[in-house]
Structure 1
């Protein structure tokens, strides 16, 4: 993902989660996904799914047990 697509995803996620500090960044070696950060901390990956008729995106975030404390 590049340019306008990343900008649109970032704007959507910032509004949805009410987090203006959320940032979506292009990945170096992957063109079907982008990294998501909050205040500079990596939190997950957004994947682009265009395998069927409709374009969609999936957000994946791993939560470690030690982070719950």
Structure 2
């Protein structure tokens, strides 16, 4: 994922969900980025470019101990 995409996603998550959220590049992956709320890891945003339109998928696991 390119730096400009990460910057746009970061602004989107801050605006839509919470200003404490941030999107960061993954160390060894270039097709996704990590999403955090403060220092806590929330999930991963993946690029979906199989169709003509480029889209993003956010994946977040919810553990039973968190409920």
Please tell me the TM-score bracket, short chain as reference.
over 0.9
Structure 1, unaligned runs of 5 or more: none
Find the aligned partners of 2:48 and 2:25 in 1 and give their Cα distance.
Answer: 16
1:5 matched residue in structure 2: 5
* Runs of at least 4 residues off by over 3 Å: none
CA deviations on 1:17-47 (whole Å, 9 max, x unpaired) are 1x11101000011100000000110010000
Partner of 1:41: 40
Matching residue of 1:26: 25
Q: How many residues align?
A: 67
TM-score for the superposition, normalised by structure 2: 0.95
